[in-house]
């Protein structure tokens, strides 16, 4: 039976503004699986993905509730014949489900993830009944994995990052964790035909097989589609802006300019920078269809793919203008953008919100892939970064992403790790802070760099697409 859906206000549907028409349903995604099967990673990814799409989601981690009473239990605590352990674990699950039900009372809250092993049929039935009574739909998501290499790498991950083992000897932690898994294996029941009345998605061996049962509506299928694209194999994503462009030098936005001399130098140094970070790992390079990204990637010895979806935010009628010129010609728009940069859409162009929508297939493809290096643009990079780091819509459009810097993102069970590697090639800063007219282009340049830059600006004037005066701010701020 399909659970009752709640109607809020006069509408039977909510629109989150990114073109996602979500039915007015609330869904509890119930994780299922033995420890070290990547459940927490999946749970956190689902929350971040939905948040990125403006669908309010929250993870309720039963382990966190259990830790308030039992911060660092040993494996014996998880033995089902340990009565006190069982009582405390049940109490933790009840507290998490209670909090989740309370959280669902706010009309904006749509999807909760209940992150725990939920390894027995009675436990799952109990969760379903609690949710049914509250009019909350359930999807059980099982991560089932018998590949030793993946389990071992997850154990290593949990052992080094879980608060359960913080400050403990890693050897001892690994042994205890293996013991804990054995305790769970004794009682673990996989999702099967006994639970055919439930909505579930069973992901076997990191997506080599996916079994789906009774998906009921649009929002559920959207979550499941995302889950089908996920894998939990360890990997990194590298992102870099293109090298400094002629437009960056003159402070103009948008366009399809060539790289400056320093941008070309960055392109030459990028393979070394990537090698320093990625070693000999195989990589695929994704660029936009604009010249500055293709030129930046040209020396990279990997397979390359150009995506239209990675093109820079379309600045519409402001394309080719400097921020100062935009403020002069379109003062109201300039102010409106500063007030709500994420939602502001350039006249005839795009907003950050629009960019997020067109990046969704990129995110899906990224999730399916292993090591990828993306060479893209300031606004697009901010959106991709926000997806991995869970940055808010208020902050992400203002994030500082310097030119000539390679960012490595490594998704881990509890967070995404970040590493920034700077090339020893100077560049202007295109970052503009809220309320300011111009990007921060001040920097110290050597005489030769200055000469190079002047040649670049002269070149820029030669081509019709770049036929603009060098920005007075650059000329004034350049110090030989």
Ligand X SMILES: O=P(O)(O)OC[C@H]1O[C@@](CO)(OP(=O)(O)O)[C@@H](O)[C@@H]1O
Binding interface with ligand X (CB under 6 A): 241, 245, 247-248, 253-254, 312-313, 315, 377-379, 397, 430, 432
Rounded to whole angstroms, how far apart are CA atoms 374 and 197?
Answer: 43
d(CA 438, CA 432): 6
- Please enumerate, by residue number, every residue annotated as part of a binding site for substrate: 241-248, 292
Tell the smallest beta-carbon distance from residue 318 to ligand X (Å).
8
Position of minimal CB gap to ligand X: 377
**To the nearest whole angstrom, how small is the minimum distance from the Cβ of residue 468 to ligand X?**
14
Comparing CB distances to ligand X, the nearer of 100 and 326 is 326
Point out the catalytic residue in the list 311, 312, 314, 367: 312
Nearer to ligand X, 54 or 245 (CB): 245
Q: Locate 193 and state its tokens.
A: 């035909």
Q: How far is the CB of 309 from ligand X (least distance, A)?
A: 14
Q: What are phi and psi of 426, to 5 degrees?
A: -65, 160
CB of 18 to ligand X, least distance (A): 17
CB 473 within 8 A of CB 253: no
Integer Cα distance of 176 and 216 in angstroms = 40
CB of 359 to ligand X, least distance (A): 14
The encoded tokens of residue 305 equal: 């793919």
Cβ-based nearer residue to ligand X, 138 or 378: 378
- Give catalytic status of residue 166 as yes or no: no
For ligand X, the closer CB: 231 or 404: 404
How far is it, in rounded angstroms, from Cα 52 to Cα 63?
A: 25
For 348, phi and psi rounded to 5 degrees? 70, 15
For ligand X, the closer CB: 93 or 310: 310
Neighbours of 29 (CB within 10 A): 27
Helix (H, G, I), strand (E, B) or coil at 56: strand
Closest C-alpha among 3, 121, 36, 63 to residue 413: 36
- Cβ contact 328:352 at 8 Å: no
Burial label, 61 (beta-carbon count in 10 A; 0-12, 13-18, 19+):
buried
Active site residue 312: yes
Catalytic residue chosen out of the listed positions 195, 231, 242, 377:
242
Give kind and range of the element (H or E) at residue 51.
Answer: helix 39-52
Handedness of CA 427, 433, 438, 440 (dihedral sign): negative
Does residue 280 have an active-site annotation?
A: no
Nearer to ligand X, 199 or 315 (CB): 315
Least CB distance from residue 158 to ligand X, whole Å? 38
Residues catalogued as catalytic? 115, 242, 312
């Amino acid at each position: 039976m399909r659970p009752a859906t709640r109607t809020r206000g006069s509408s039977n549907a909510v629109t989150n503004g990114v073109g996602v028409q979500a039915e007015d349903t609330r869904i509890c995604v119930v994780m299922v699986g033995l420890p070290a099967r990547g459940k927490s990673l999946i749970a956190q990814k689902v929350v971040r993905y939905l948040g990125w799409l403006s669908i309010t989601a929250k993870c309720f981690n039963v382990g966190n509730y259990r830790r308030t009473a039992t911060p660092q239990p040993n494996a014996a605590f998880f033995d089902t014949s340990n009565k006190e352990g069982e009582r405390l674990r049940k109490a933790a699950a009840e507290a998490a489900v209670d909090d989740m039900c309370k959280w669902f009372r706010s009309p904006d809250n749509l999807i909760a993830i209940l992150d725990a092993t939920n390894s027995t049929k009675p436990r799952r039935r109990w969760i379903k009944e609690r949710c049914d009574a509250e009019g909350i739909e359930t999807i059980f998501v099982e991560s089932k994995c018998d590949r030793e290499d993946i389990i071992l790498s997850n154990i290593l991950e949990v052992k080094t990052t879980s608060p359960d083992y913080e400050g403990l000897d890693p050897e001892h932690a690994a042994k205890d964790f293996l013991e804990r898994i054995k305790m769970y294996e004794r009682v673990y029941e996989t999702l099967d035909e006994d639970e055919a009345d439930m909505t579930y998605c069973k992901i076997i061996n990191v997506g080599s097989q996916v079994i789906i049962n009774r998906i009921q509506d649009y929002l559920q299928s959207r979550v499941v589609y995302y889950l089908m694209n996920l894998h939990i194999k360890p990997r990194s994503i590298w992102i870099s802006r293109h090298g400094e462009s002629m437009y960056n030098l003159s402070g103009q936005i948008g366009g399809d300019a060539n790289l400056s001399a320093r941008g070309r130098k960055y392109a030459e140094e990028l393979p070394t920078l990537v090698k320093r970070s990625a070693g000999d790992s195989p990589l695929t390079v994704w660029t936009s269809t604009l010249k500055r990204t293709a030129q930046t990637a040209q020396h990279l010895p990997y397979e390359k793919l150009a995506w239209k979806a990675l093109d820079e935010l379309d600045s519409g009628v402001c394309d080719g203008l400097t921020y100062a010129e935009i403020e002069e010609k379109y003062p109201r728009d300039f102010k409106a953008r500063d007030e709500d940069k994420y939602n502001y859409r350039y006249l005839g162009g795009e907003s950050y919100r629009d960019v997020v929508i067109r990046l969704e297939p990129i995110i899906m493809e990224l999730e399916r892939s292993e090591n990828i290096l993306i060479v893209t643009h300031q606004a697009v990079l901010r959106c991709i970064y926000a997806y991995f780091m869970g940055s808010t819509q208020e902050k992400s459009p203002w994030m500082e992403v310097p030119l000539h810097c390679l960012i490595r993102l490594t998704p881990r069970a509890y967070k995404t790790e970040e590493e920034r590697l700077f090339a020893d090639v100077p560049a202007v800063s295109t970052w503009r802070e809220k309320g300011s007219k111009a990007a921060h282009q001040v920097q110290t340049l050597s005489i030769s760099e200055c000469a190079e830059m002047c040649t670049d600006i002269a070149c820029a004037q030669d081509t019709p697409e770049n036929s603009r005066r060098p920005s007075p701010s650059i000329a004034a701020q350049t110090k030989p």
